[in-house]
Amino acid sequence: MIDSICMNSVLLASASEVFETMIFMDLEQCFDEQQNIAGDSLLSSITFKGDLNGCLTICCSTDCAKSIGINMLGMDPEEQISREGTYDALGEVANMVMGSVKTKIQQNTGNISVSIPVVISGREIVTRLSDGQAIKTIVKVLIDSKYIAEFCLLYKDNSL
């Protein structure tokens, strides 16, 4: 049963692990309500189903996503990354963070199947499940002391 897990801690630990080992960028939780994602944004979403149904999203500015992609690919910071490369990188971040979350909660949940990630662009992007019964966990982070990003986990425990 998922009640015994603090999903906020799981989400932050999973994101930190991925950024430390695969993206090589510093990530720390941001508690400043005044700092928000500004300008054009990208949102990467990956859904899951099983004893838990829901989705994990990552939302950040386009500049942040480009920086993530450049770091993931080991590119020189002055190099340009394509739009497709940026989208692919952010999708892969969602995939890796969800994989880490799944590993951390697996003992307390049944089997969970994960979709492929989807990336969209826009402004003031909001995520929610349609039935209104989902639990929502949001972790705002500061990446490399420069970019604000939000990790969101929406889920519904179907085992109850």
- For residue 160, what pLDDT is reported? 60
Beta strand pairing status for 52-61 and 112-114?
unpaired
pLDDT digits (tens, 9 = 90+) for 32-49: 988 888 889 999 999 999
What residues contact 20, with CB distance under 8 A and at least 6 apart? 27
What pTM was estimated for this model as a whole? Answer: 0.90
Q: What are phi and psi of 43, to 5 degrees?
A: -130, 125
- For the domain 2-157, what is the CATH code? 3.40.1550.10
Among residues 127, 109, 110, 106, the alpha carbon closest in space to that of 118 is found at 127
Low-confidence residues of the chain: pLDDT under 70: 1-5, 124-132, 159-160
- For residue 159, what pLDDT is reported? 67
Sequence ranges of the domains in the chain: 2-157
CB 42 within 8 A of CB 65: yes
- For residue 4, what pLDDT is reported? 44
- For residue 147, what pLDDT is reported? 96
- For residue 131, what pLDDT is reported? 60
Would you say the C-alpha torsion 86, 90, 93, 99 has a positive or negative sign?
negative
